[in-house]
Amino acid sequence: MLGFVCLALILIAGDAEGAKRLCSGSARVLRGNPTLIGQNGAFSAPYARNVYVTHGSAAIIPSQWASTRASLRPFVSQISGAFPLINAGFEGVSDIIGGAPPAGFRPNSNVQADLMMLYPGHLILELPGAPHDYGITTVVLRIPATLSCPVGTTEIAP
């Protein structure tokens, strides 16, 4: 509980990393793959720093952020989120959602497109450290002001 309270205070209070934008809305929160914790995430690159998957990080679908992996890379450590209805959250984005498609979809289909089709209008997030799938819930994001609020969210006053 204390960790969530601290995260909520950080989201509201801000820090010295620069101007931030608060976004709130609806997210489909999936339990990620805990075996990826400690490994390089999809935002790592030979010409940039390594971005490791952590217990408290998230995986995203870059197109929901109106962006690409390369253009999001400089900001991934500055994106955080809280799920107030389920007392959970994340600090930093480390990976891109991938893996097997959801049940009922072709084995070689695009898992990101499949998830966006199943959950239209919802931001889709995957948490490798989550104890279980959280379903659809409210999300409050704290992102750099240079980014737009992603799918399923709108800007709110700080």
pLDDT digits (tens, 9 = 90+) for 59-106: 999 999 988 888 999 999 999 999 999 999 999 999 999 998 999 999
SS3 103: coil
Cα-atom radius of gyration of the chain, to the nearest Å?
Answer: 15
- State the residue for tokens 């499949």: 114
* Statement: residue 3 has pLDDT above 80: no
State residue 52's pLDDT score: 95
Round to whole Å and give the CA distance between 69 and 51: 12
Neighbours of 143 (CB within 10 A): 22
CB 139 within 8 A of CB 82: yes
Domain containing 78: what range?
A: 2-12+21-147+151-155
Q: Contact 76/94 with Cβ under 8 angstroms?
A: yes
Within its chain, how far is the Cα of 53 from the centroid?
A: 12
Distance of CA 147 to the CA centre of its chain: 14
Place of tokens 């790592």: 44
Place of tokens 């072709």: 106
Contact criterion met (CB below 8 Å) for 7 and 142: no
Predicted TM-score of the model (pTM): 0.87
What total number of domains does the chain contain? 1
**Residue 134's CB: how many other CB atoms inside 10 A?**
18
Assess whether pLDDT exceeds 80 at residue 158.
no
